[in-house]
Amino acid sequence: MMRCWVMLGGGGELELPTAISWKFCYGTDTPCDSFFVRCLWERGQEKVLSAACRFYAGWEGDRVFTGVVDEYAVICGKDGLYLEISGRGMAALLLDNEAMPAEYQRATRADIVADHVAPYGVAAVGGGGLPAVTGFTVTSGESEWSVVRRFACYYGGVVPRFDRAGRLVLDPPGDGEEVCVKDSDPVTGWEYREERHGVLSQVAVRRRTSWGTQWVSDGAFQAQGGCARRVITVPNTTQSAAMRYTADYQLRAARRERVRMRLTVAGGFLAWPGQLVSVDMKGCGANGRYRAAQVEVSCGSGGLTTTLVLGERDAMI
């Protein structure tokens, strides 16, 4: 059974009435997680939720979503009186707030969390492996999410994401428990696609005015006829190791959506973003091991379903 609560800006919380339909969307990066819930409602309570600012939901005793309330509406029609409430995950707080311009001589994980995450009441976990960045700059007009993403993703190779408790996670996805989708599972539809446009076969990183260029290639894509090169210019002070990492990052980022397999399965909360998913269905030529990039769980007239959007295991999910 789905149970939902809202927290009020003045303190306290309120449990919502029985949910008759809902949808939870999870992923990494942008767009951030989102939710939609439709509940039964009582006449005369139209403004009770005016101070609702946070939302969380539980399924069979486990927390499955924590987020920010963006909108609610009380609707009276042929289906009776009901409440619709929707919003986004906790990443919304970092997306909606503009960062103060700053220049760090040496930015660490602790600096970024203290200045750009903690002030919004967001907890952060992991990130112990993220390197300190010399000369890290926050530009005018940049969102707090952009600052966190650029620090973690560009310099550390980690796409930041939020867990179901609303915490910012700064570690790469672990393999953990693998989900298996087989013929015996109630798969109601699937789709496999590959996209070549935007995928890079080679990246060259060169210093602005001095000699020295690092070349990194995607051999597998080149063997498939891929031919798309990018040349990136960096300051003369950039070290060779950093230049190569910049090139590696560009290749991985360009490949993140090359492969997508979409599965719709009856049932709820079958996997989470970052989790390994093994597909083994008879007659399917796209069987293999993937990593979940996006998950959508919905309940309505079509019953309870989970849609998994899967990508390559080693791509930036």
- In the prediction, which pLDDT does 148 show? 97
- In the prediction, which pLDDT does 247 show? 81
Angle (nearest 5°) at CA 261 between 260 and 262: 115
The number of helix segments (H) and strand segments (E) in the chain equals 6, 21
- In the prediction, which pLDDT does 30 show? 78
Burial of 242 (0-12, 13-18, 19+ CB in 10 A): middle
| Ranges 109-118, 217-226, 279-288, most confident | 109-118
- Residue bearing the bigger pLDDT, 236 or 42: 42
For the stretch 7-20, pLDDT in tens is 999 889 999 999 99
Rounded to an integer, what distance in angstroms lies between the CA atom of residue 164 and that of residue 58?
10
- 207 pLDDT exceeds 90? no
- 85 pLDDT exceeds 80? yes
- In the prediction, which pLDDT does 157 show? 84
Q: What is the DSSP letter of 245?
A: H
Q: What is the DSSP letter of 170?
A: -
Rounded to an integer, what distance in angstroms lies between the CA atom of residue 117 and that of residue 168?
8
Burial of 236 (0-12, 13-18, 19+ CB in 10 A): exposed
For the entire predicted model, the pTM comes to: 0.90
Contact 143, 97 (CB under 8 A): yes
Residue 97 phi/psi, 5-degree rounding, is: -110, 130
For the chain, the residue count is: 317
- In the prediction, which pLDDT does 317 show? 67
- In the prediction, which pLDDT does 222 show? 92
- Secondary structure E strands in 79-228: 80-89, 102-107, 124-125, 133-138, 161-162, 168-169, 179-182, 187-194, 202-207, 213-217
CA distances from 18 to 4, 8, 241, 272, 291 (A): 8, 19, 56, 25, 34
Angle (nearest 5°) at CA 254 between 315 and 217: 85
For the stretch 29-82, pLDDT in tens is 778 999 999 999 988 888 989 999 999 999 999 999 999 999 999 999 888 999
Residue 191: how many other CB atoms lie within 10 Å: 11
Rounded to an integer, what distance in angstroms lies between the CA atom of residue 283 and that of residue 97?
49
Q: Which two tokens stand for residue 87?
A: 């919003």
